[in-house]
Amino acid sequence: MKSVLLLRGINVGGHGKLPMAELRALLEGLGAEDVATYIQSGNVVMRGAPRSDDIADAIEEQFGFRPTCMLIGAEAFAEGLANDPFKEARETPKLLHYFFCADEPHPNRQKLDALLSGAERYEIIGKVMYFHAPDGMGRSKFGARAESHLGVSATARNLNTVAKLREMLDAI
């Protein structure tokens, strides 16, 4: 079984340091095969994925911190990409974000809507919240605070990263 592993909060601002070569070795030690990483922010594709709790336990034991681990099967990941309701926004992939949720979200839409500014928009389909931020994620209150109103843990990736992970999945 092919899957994507998204780790939240690693290698950000000097916190949660986790070298990708060591992460690959750790995952292989847990039984994963064909492990490949993309950039330094915890994006992994693999076959034969271990359980996310086992991954978090092993990272905590070896590196001293416990990241949120989102393990997404290849079919569910592809479905998340295909369900994107903002396909016209793909012209600028760094402005289109996918919030992958640990479980089905139970959003407080009133609070989410209050965070939106300008032309920002979002849509939730299944376990993914899609967010288009035409003025950039860095300035967005929504991007920074949306997770707290989803009712579940989530981690965001822009379309560039999601598309690259899909390409890597196809290659293993």
Lowest-confidence range among 2-16, 95-109, 114-128? 2-16
- The neighbouring-strand residues paired with 144 are none
* pTM (predicted TM-score): 0.93
Position 4 confidence tier, pLDDT thresholds 50, 70, 90: very high
Rounded distance between C-alpha atoms, residue 117 and residue 168, angstroms: 34
Position 14 confidence tier, pLDDT thresholds 50, 70, 90: low
- The neighbouring-strand residues paired with 46 are 3
More confident position, 132 or 139? 132
Instruction: State the amino acid at position 20 in one-letter form.
Output: M
Rounded distance between C-alpha atoms, residue 171 and residue 134, angstroms: 31
Quote the pLDDT of residue 41. Answer: 85
Rounded distance between C-alpha atoms, residue 156 and residue 42, angstroms: 11
